[in-house]
Amino acid sequence: CQVALCARDGETASQTAQQIMHQTSSMTVGFGADVSRKEDVDQLLENVRNELGNPDILITNAGGPPPGTFASTKLEDYERALRLNLMSAVNLIHAVVPFMKMKKWGRIIAITSIAVKQPIGDLLLSNMARTGLTGFLKTIATELADNNITVNALLPGMHKTARVEELIKNRALVENKSIQAVTEEMLGEIPARAMGEPDDFGSVAVFLASNQARYITGQNLLIDGGKFPGLL
């Protein structure tokens, strides 16, 4: 297994790649790229192909836009959010699908959010962009299925990440509460009464990328400790 990863900061990406390679002995390369810019995506794909060959598996996971409400969001913020959380994935998928079709095998996994099932307050931009991406993914899943290319999305709830820490701090500031109080409130909304660990999420992604998941496509899989209350 060979892995390529990217981040806006190329040095951070390279350091992370070295850590992964040290722990797993799998060839891992890190690149600097801003996936909201198509020219960066094109250069990223060229670099990956030169270093590792054609991609078989794509996992998209751009960071979230800033929190905000309709009243606090400026018109220019919408376009930035769509570039980051919608068009970044669209550009990456357009770049890799031709190679997956050539091989008649591919896996596309998009990390979106529980918000595509139920919009989250104060996350207007994320709710909008990720829901648009969900419609795109469902559509192309049917178009690519006969090429043995699966397209699925993973919907994280509350996991121990820097993004969740940022959201907790923002909510604490807005509601004039302590970080501990907000954290306890959030945990109280999760039937599992705990935040997810990275391995809880990663193991599902590994399964979807495997041959064992060949008959699963067009799905939105919640990994949220039971937080989402709906049936569908």
Distance, in Å, from the CA atom of 155 to the CA atom of 153, rounded to the nearest integer, reads 6
Catalogue all structural domains in the chain, each as residue range(s) with its CATH number. Answer: 55-223 (3.40.50.720)
The string of pLDDT tens digits covering residues 75-118 is: 999 999 999 999 999 999 999 999 999 999 999 999 999 999 99
pLDDT at residue 20, as a whole number: 95
CA distances (Å), origin 87, targets 37, 64, 76, 211? 9, 13, 15, 28
Q: Count CB neighbours of 99 within 10 A.
A: 16
Q: What percent of the chain has pLDDT over 70?
A: 100
> Which tokens in the block code for residue 220?
């939105």
Q: Which of 124-133, 155-164, 214-223 is least confident?
A: 155-164
- Grouping H, G, I as helix, E, B as strand and the rest as coil, residue 69 is coil
Q: Which residue has the tokens 């008959």?
A: 215
Residue 60's beta-bridge partner residues?
110
pLDDT bucket at 38, cuts 50 / 70 / 90: very high
CB 30 within 8 A of CB 10: yes
- Tens digits of per-residue pLDDT, 145-177? 999 999 999 999 899 888 889 889 989 998 999
Placement of tokens 């390529």 in the chain: 4
